[in-house]
Amino acid sequence: MPKFLWACWDGGGNLPPSLGIARALTDRGHSVGFFGRPDMVGRVEASGFRATQLGSAYAALERYGANPLPTVFGYTSSGLVGQELVEVVATESPDVVVVDAMFTAALADAPRFGRPTAVMLHTFLNHCLAMWRGNFAMQSESRERAGFAPLPSLDALWGERELLHVNALSEFDRASPAPWSNVRYGAPVLGALTGAHPVSLPWTSDDDRPLVVVSFSTVREQRSPEMLQRALDALAARPVRVVASLGGIVGRHELDVPANAHVVEFVDHDALLGDADVVVGHGGHGTTMRSLRAGVPIVCIPAKGGDQPVIAGLIERWGVGCAMPQDASAAAIGAAVDGVLADASARAAARDRAAAFSGPDGAELAADALERLADAARAGSRRAA
């Protein structure tokens, strides 16, 4: 059976869907191994997959001292990491190398892998294309300042790989044709999150106050106890019930939790959203799509993720909620929640969007595409032999 090597960037919007696709592949009998920075190893192993840290993951951090996110770009764009991956691929000899779309060091050295490369994008392509071009230009500049060769263009890094698989609904994204011929759309990967368990709510069954789910990023670089506290403060005096997620990156001791709030390490969205009336989130693609799949409107407060302001704008354009600035005050957040709760059209629009999720889960669609790529590679090897 085919063997897949996953060159991993463990961002909050990248790792959970990557693990979902890996689960679909292993359920079909395939082999998947993840390679990335030390931060991802425990999370991947907890999901039952082989995970290996790259020794060069943080070897160049001192060269990225001027970058506002050195632990991100010092890994994702490092030429040392790219070279190590070339060596890992040669040793592992996979049928296909899967690369997270933001992992520019892996993408830049992909032509040296000698294996087909599939790029996995876990958010919108067309809506975010300008943002991605700017992000990759910034990574290239940081890489040059660190003493590495500049990156090829986005058109080469994504468009010249064998497959660019977009794990998003095409009908939500197709404002214009796909920019390259290798683009294939699947669907959001919305399986159960590792570490998320059904929440036992502390309220009685006859408590009919609206339920507000507060869920921000799970990426340490986007950690913001202050934002979470403002959301809790915004809802403290309102006649609502609140379930808030710490995301594994904020400590319970860092917060002043009001009496109407229940705080958990990870929110099991699927168990809660059926009863939720509004989600207060950060505009991550996964959280946003889970909310819309359940027909729940959203108050969006973007963090530092590049696609989050874009998705916040879409939430308003689609009429499924409202967007707030990153520094929104507790008073402003509270007023926004009040407005969405009172807006029947926002819930109706969210329910209309939910109809688009009737097809297969994105994990199965992505696994199908990766299988086809592996089969084509094996067929080509047999013909060459």
pLDDT reported for residue 12 = 73
Q: CATH topology of 3-191+361-384 equal to that of 211-357? A: yes
Distance CA 165, CA 170 (A): 11
Asked whether residue 289 carries a pLDDT value surpassing 60, the answer given is: yes
Of all residues in the chain, what percent carry a pLDDT higher than 70?
A: 93
pLDDT reported for residue 270 = 81
Asked whether residue 47 carries a pLDDT value surpassing 80, the answer given is: yes
Contacts of residue 249, defined as CB under 8 A and 6 or more positions apart, other chains included, come to: 217, 218, 219, 220, 222, 223
pLDDT in tens, 147-191: 999 999 999 999 999 999 999 999 999 767 889 999 999 999 997
Q: Tell me which CATH homologous superfamily contains domain 211-357.
A: Glycogen Phosphorylase B; (3.40.50.2000)
State the average pLDDT for the chain: 91
pLDDT reported for residue 226 = 85
User: Domain-by-domain residue ranges, the chain?
Assistant: 3-191+361-384, 211-357
Mean pLDDT for the stretch of residues 197-215 = 88
Asked whether residue 268 carries a pLDDT value surpassing 90, the answer given is: no
Asked whether residue 383 carries a pLDDT value surpassing 80, the answer given is: no
Distance CA 169, CA 365 (A): 11
Q: Is 336 exposed, middle or buried (0-12, 13-18, 19+ CB in 10 A)?
A: buried
With respect to CATH, is domain 3-191+361-384 assigned 3.40.50.2000? yes
Mean pLDDT for the stretch of residues 353-368 = 94
pLDDT reported for residue 197 = 64
Whether the CA torsion 293, 17, 118, 121 is positive or negative: it is positive
Enter the tokens of residue 223: 């950690």
DSSP 140-157: HHHHHHTTSPPPPPHHHH
> Is the whole-model pTM more than 0.85?
yes
In 9-89, where do the E strands start and end?
Answer: 31-36, 50-53
